[in-house]
Structure 1
Amino acid sequence: MFISPAYAQDSLGGGLAMVTQIAPLLLIFAVFYFLLIRPQQKKQKEHKALLAALKRGDRVLTAGGIIGKVMVVKDGVDEVEVEIAPNVRVSILRQTIGDVLKPIGANDAGAKG
């Protein structure tokens, strides 16, 4: 008469309840991994490869929005010399380069889509 129904559960029901509590957490982690973490890692890997392949003559876009032409790339050094205007060269860090722009061809210069 004084026995609570909470103590009268069998051991199999307790294991199933634990699985049903953990399953939503695992599902949320899987969704975060495939929608947020994995694409970000892929993007970082591509950006690192882009910076490693940087060479003289490339047109680059910096994180500050400046477009320039790479003049000097030193191996083992984190700095790149970029010409942002005629006879104006600045030294920037590789990590601040956001993108390498495609060269503008002679035929593409006048065409506006």
Structure 2
Amino acid sequence: MDQNAMLNFIPLILMFVVFYFFIIRPQKKKANEINEMRENLKVGDKIITIGGIIGKIILVKEDYLVIETSSDNTKIEVMKWGVNGTYKKNADLKDAEEE
């Protein structure tokens, strides 16, 4: 009876292992990469926010950035957690898709 109970837990354990390696681990890796990118932002970088705003960083503080969004010198304060990534032009994006 004890051996049957152990055999019943094997599929459950296997499902947990698969779930960990295919869902939890990649998600943690991506979150770490995004946090590292946000910590390494510097003046002059072009970024895109979670809301889709594209701008150039003109000031970096501990928790927020000030970005310039247009030729009219429009300045916006953005929290660091609101940065989605660095902005690349279309040619750079096409190269990235080909790789």
Same fold per TM (> 0.5)? yes
- Aligned partner of 2:80 in structure 1 is 94
Taking structure 2 as the reference length, the TM-score comes to 0.85
- Aligned partner of 1:36 in structure 2 is 23
Q: SS of the residue aligned with 1:57?
A: coil
Q: How many residues align?
A: 92
1:39 to partner: Cα distance: 0.1
CA RMSD of the aligned region, Å?
1.9
1:19 to partner: Cα distance: 1.1
- Aligned partner of 1:69 in structure 2 is 56
Unaligned runs of 5+ in 2: none
If asked which structure has higher relative contact order (CA below 8 Å, sep 6+), I would say 2
The letter for the 2-side match of 1:48 is: N
The letter for the 1-side match of 2:29 is: K
Counterpart Cα distance in 2 of 1:84 and 1:101: 12
- Aligned partner of 2:6 in structure 1 is 19
- Aligned partner of 2:67 in structure 1 is 82
Work out whether 1:56 is the aligned partner of 2:12: no
Taking structure 1 as the reference length, the TM-score comes to 0.75
Counterpart Cα distance in 1 of 2:39 and 2:51: 20
1:40 to partner: Cα distance: 0.2
Counterpart Cα distance in 2 of 1:90 and 1:67: 11
Q: SS of the residue aligned with 2:57?
A: strand
Larger helix proportion, structure 1 or 2?
2
Runs of at least 4 residues off by over 3 Å: none
1:101 to partner: Cα distance: 2.3
Unaligned runs of 5+ in 1: 1-13
Percent pairwise identity: 36
User: Greater CA deviation, 77-86 or 50-59?
Assistant: 77-86
